[in-house]
Amino acid sequence: MTSYVPYILLLPIAGAAFNILAGRALPRRAVEAVAVFAVFGSCVFAVMALYGMTGPVDVMLFDWISFGSFTAPFTARLDAISATMAVMVTGVSTLIHIYSVGYMADDDGYVRFFALMNLFVFSMLTLVLAGNLPLMYLGWEGVGFCSYGLIGFWYQDTEKATAGRKAFIVTRVGDVAFGVAVIWLYQLTGQTAIAAINQSAQVIPAATVTAIGLLLLFGATGKSAQLPLTVWLPDAMAGPTPVSALIHAATMVTAGVYLLMRMYPLISLSGTAMAAIAAVGALTAFYAATSALGQTDIKRVLAYSTISQIGYMVMGVGAGAVAGPLFHLFSHAFFKALLFLGAGYVIKAMHEEQDIFKMGGLMYRTPLVFVCFLSGALALAAVPGTSGFFSKDEILSAAFNNGSAFYTCIWAIGELTAFITTVYALRLVYLVFTGESKKTPAHVSGLMDYTLIPLALLSLAGGAINAPESWGGGTKLSEALISQGLAPRQFEGGSFGLQALAVLITVAGFATVHYLYAVNPKLREDMAARQAGLMAFLKDGWGLDRLYHAAFVAPYTAASRFLWRDFDEGLIDDSLDNLALATAKVGTWMRSSVTGRMSTYLVSVFLGAAALLAFFAIR
Amino acid sequence: MVPLTHIMALAGVLFFLGAICVVVRRNVLFILIGVEIMLNAAGLTFVAASLRWGAPEGQIFVLFLMAMAASEVSVGLALVVYAHRRKKSVDVDDFNEMKD
C-alpha cells in the first residue's frame, strides 16, 4: 500500500503543472477533464492506501532539506489521522471539481481556476500527509497562497482583490507563530519529524511546552479563523462559491485543528495550553454563531457558521479529545461543503442574488436542491441521527466529562451555541426555500445539483464512521486512532443525558425558528426593528473588523503616511532639495561677479593681492 | 639721502594711481598707460631697494623692466590697432565676449 502514496500527491501537482503549461492551448473540456481526473485519481489512490494500511508508516519520496543535523525529507506519513484526512480531502475535492465545471461554465479564467484548485489539493495533501513540521509548513503556506489566489480570483474587482490580500495578511500573522514553534521545537529536541517530536516531548520543560502550545494555538487561529484572527474568513467569500466550499469550509480552514491534533501528545502535557485552546474554541464558537444570526448574505451566514463549527473542533482538542474533533471535522466538511455548493446553486438560480431576504419559495422550484440543502442544514443543526449530531455530541461529552468547573463552563457555552446554531441553520432554510417566491429561478447546470447528492448522503449517514455503540455504531474512527496511539482513550459520546439535552436543544431551536419565520413573522420583524442596534452589531461581527481597523490598520496607515509624507518626502527629500536650491542660489550670487569687464577682474586681482600681502605683513 | 620709506610711499602712490587708471578707464590706451605707470612704480621700488642695500641686481632688473615695457607697449599698441580695425572702437566694454 505504500506504493500508492506517491501517486496521491503526484496526480494533483501533475494536473496543476499540465494545466499551467498547456491549458491555454487546449480546449475547455480537456482542461476540465485533466483537473477533475487528477483529483479523482488521487482520491482512488488515497482510498486504496487507507484500506491497505496496517499501521503508521513513513514513505520517503525524496530528500528535500538536508544540512548538518537538520533534515526535512519529503516524507509522507500515513496513519489513521492522515489517511482518513487524505480520503476526505480528495473525495470532497473531486465532487467540488465536478461542481466547478458547471459553476465556471461562463467564466474565461477557467485555466487559472482549475490549475489553482489542483495546486491547492496538492498543497493540502502535503500538509495532511507531511511527516515532519517543515514539510507541513510548506503545505501550510501552499494552501495559503492558493487561497489568496482564489479569493481574489476576480482580481479586477478591487473589493475582491482586497479580500484576498486581507486573508493572506491575517493568516500570515498566525503563520509566524507556527514558524517560530517549528524552529523552537527543532532547537529543543533536535528533531523535525512529528512523531519523533511527540515522543521526545517529555524532556521539554513544562513552561516551554506551554509556550509552544500557545504558539501552535496562535498559528491555528490564523489558518482556522479563530478568535482573535477570525476577520478574514467572512471576507474570503468574495471568491467563487466552489472555492468557499472547498478551501474556506471543508479543507484549508481545518488545517489549524489538524495541526493541534497532530501535535496533541505534546500539547496535552500543558494544562494551561489545553485550557487556552478550549477557551478560544468555545468563545469563537459562540461569537461566530451569534454573528451568523445577524447576517443577511447567504455566504456570510455560512462563513460565520464555519468559524463557529471549527471553534467546536478546537474546543474538542482543548477538552482532551482527538477523535471527536476529527470526526466533527469530517462531518463538517461534508455538510458545510454541501451547504456552500447548495448556496452556489441558489445564488446562480436567483441571478447572482446573495441576500436571503430577497429569496424565498425555492422549495417547489428546485426540489432536489432543497432536499440536499435541508439535509446539510439538519446536520449542521445536529438533528439526531445525522453526522453532525454524533460528532458534536462527542466534543460536548469530552468537555462535560472533564470534570473541572472551567470545562463545565466551556461545555455550557457549547450547549448554548448549539441552540444558536440550530436557529441560524434553520432560519436559512426557511428564508431561502419557504414563503412565496420572489424571482423566477434561472437555469443552472445539471452538474451542479447532482454533485450535491453524494454530499447529502454523507451528511446524513456519515455519522456511521464513528457512531457510539448505543446507536449500533462501533466508534470505528476512535478505535483506529487509539490503536495507533494517536488519541487518548477517553469518555466516549453517547451518554443518554447529554443526547437527550441535545435533542431538546434542537427541538427548541426548530420550534423557535418555525414560530418566528413561518407562524408569526410579524413578531420577528417587530423584534428586529426594536433591537436594530443589536442586529447591526451582530451583522458587523461584533465590530471586530472596525476594532482591528482602528487598532492596527489605521495606526499603520498613519505611520506609513508619516514616513512617506513627513519623513521621506518632508525630511530627506526636502533637505536634499533645499541643499541643491541653496547651492544654486550661491552659484547665482557668485555668477554676478562674472561681468565680462576687465576692470572687475582686475579689482578682484588687486583685492586678492592686497589680502595676501596684508596676511604676510601681519604675520 | 632720501629715506627708503619716502620712496616706497611715492612708489605705492604711483602704483595705486596706475591701478585706478587701469580699473576705471574704459579706453584701452589709458589702460595701457596705467600699466606703464604701475611698472614704473615697481621699477622705482627696485632702484630704491638697490640703493638701500647696495645691491646692483635691483638696478639690472630695472633695465630688464624697461626693455619689457617697451616691447609690451609695441605689442599692446599693435593689438589695439588690430582690435580697432575689427570693431571700430577702443572701448574695452565692446570686447566682453569672454563673459558668455
Residue B61 lies in a domain: yes
Going by pLDDT thresholds of 50, 70 and 90, the confidence category of residue A402 is confident
Q: For residue A132, list its beta bridge partners.
A: A193
In a domain, B82, yes or no: yes
Contact B22 A602 (CB under 8 A): yes
Cis peptide before A228 (omega within 30 of 0): yes
Structurally, chain B folds into a number of domains equal to 1
Mean pLDDT along residues A574-586: 95
The 10s digit of each residue's pLDDT in A593-613 is: 777 777 788 888 889 999 999
Produce one character per residue of A135-155: b if its CB has 16 or more CB atoms within 10 Å, e if not. Answer: bbbbbbbbbbebbbbbbbbee
Least confident segment among A292-301, A499-508, A533-542: A533-542
pLDDT of residue B71: 93
pLDDT of residue B15: 92
User: Which residues are CB-neighbours of B96 under 8 A, at least 6 positions away?
Assistant: A595, A596, A597
d(CA B100, CA B95): 12
Task: List the single residue in B with minimal CA-CA distance to A603.
Answer: B23
Cell for A148? 489568496
**Contact of A337 with A344, CB cutoff 8 Å:** no
Alpha carbon separation from A603 to A184, A255, A445, A597, B38 (Å, rounded): 79, 87, 97, 10, 14
**B92–A598: do the CB atoms touch at under 8 Å?**
yes
* Residue B50 to residues A191, A237, B6, B14, Cα–Cα distance (Å): 101, 107, 15, 19
Question: What's the pLDDT score for residue A494?
Answer: 62
Q: Cβ of B96 and A599 within 8 Å?
A: no
Residue B46 burial (CB count, 10 A): 20
CA distance A89 to A353: 29
A547 burial type by CB count under 10 A (0-12 exposed, 13-18 middle, 19+ buried): middle
Give me the residues of B, 76-95, that contact A with CB < 8 A. Answer: 92-93
Residue B55 included in any domain: yes
What pLDDT was estimated at residue A594?
A: 78
> Strand, coil or helix: what is B91?
strand
A129, A133, A136, A45: which is closest to A94 by C-alpha? A45
Distance of CA A84 to CAs A53, A89, A323, A327, Å? 11, 9, 12, 10
* Residue A1 pLDDT class (50, 70, 90 cuts): low
- Dist. CA A350–CA A211, nearest whole Å: 50
Using the Cβ of B22 and the Cβ atoms of chain A, whether some distance falls under 8 Å is answered with yes
Residue at B33 is within a domain? yes
Q: Residue A492: what pLDDT?
A: 61
Q: pLDDT tens-digit profile of A205-247?
A: 889 999 999 999 999 999 999 988 999 999 999 889 999 999 8
Q: Do B31 and A603 touch (CB under 8 A)?
A: no
For residues A6 and A59, the answer to whether their CB atoms sit within 8 Å is yes
Q: How far apart are CA A387 and CA A459, in angstroms?
A: 6
pLDDT (tens digit per residue) in A477-491: 888 888 887 777 666
Nearest by CB: A596 against B22, B24, B98: B98
Q: What does pLDDT average to over chain A?
A: 89
CATH number at residue B54: 1.10.287.3510
Q: What DSSP state is assigned to residue A440?
A: P
* DSSP H or E segment with residue A549: none
**pLDDT for residue B98:** 64
Q: Provide the residue type at A468 as one letter.
A: P
The verdict on residue B66 lying in a domain is yes
pLDDT tens readout for residues A39-69 = 999 999 999 999 888 888 888 888 888 888 8
pLDDT at position A86 is 93
The predicted complex's ipTM stands at 0.74
| Dist CA A496 CA A315 (whole Å) | 22
Given a contact cutoff of 8 angstroms between Cβ atoms, the answer to whether A377 and A339 are in contact is yes
In chain A, residues 415-454 whose CB comes closer than 8 Å to chain B: none
Residue of B23, B35, B96 to mutate when probing chain A, most A C-beta within 10 A: B23
Closest alpha carbon within chain A to B23: A599
Write the DSSP string, A248-302.
IIISGGGHHHHHHHHTHHHHTT-HHHHHHHHHHHHHHHHHHHHHHHT--BHHHHH
Let me know if residue B95 belongs to a domain: no
Does the predicted model carry a pTM greater than 0.90?
no
pLDDT digits (tens, 9 = 90+) for A62-112: 888 888 888 889 999 998 899 999 999 999 999 999 999 988 888 888 999
The rounded distance, in Å, linking the Cα atoms of A21 and A17 is: 6
Element (H, E) at A58: strand A57-67
CA distances to A401, A609, B4, B20, B38 from B17, rounded to whole Å, are 118, 16, 20, 5, 8
User: Does residue B15 belong to any structural domain of this protein?
Assistant: yes
Q: For chain B, what is the radius of gyration of the CA atoms? A: 17
pLDDT band at A544 (very low <50, low <70, confident <90, very high): confident
**For residue range A157-206, what is the model confidence (pLDDT) as tens digits?**
999 999 999 999 999 999 999 999 999 999 988 888 999 998 888 888 88
Q: Give the rounded distance of the alpha carbon of B40 from its chain centre.
A: 6
Closest to A534 measured CA to CA, from A544, A542, A546, A523: A542
Range of the domain at B58: 4-87
Q: Where are the alpha helices (DSSP H) in A322-467?
A: 323-349, 362-365, 367-380, 387-400, 405-433, 446-450, 452-461
Which residue, A69, A67, A60, A66, is CA-closest to A190? A69
Query: A76 pairs with which residues across the strands?
Result: A59, A130
Which of A606, A607, A613 to mutate to probe the B interface, most B CBs <10 Å?
A: A606
| B94, part of any domain | no
pLDDT band per the 50, 70, 90 thresholds, residue A463: confident
Predicted confidence at residue A417, as pLDDT, reads 94
Closest CA to A313 of A225, A234, A426: A225
| Chain mean position to CA A131 | 22
Give the pLDDT of residue A538: 84
Taking CA atoms, what residue in B is nearest to A593? B99
> Inter-chain contact A606–B92, Cβ cutoff 8 Å?
no
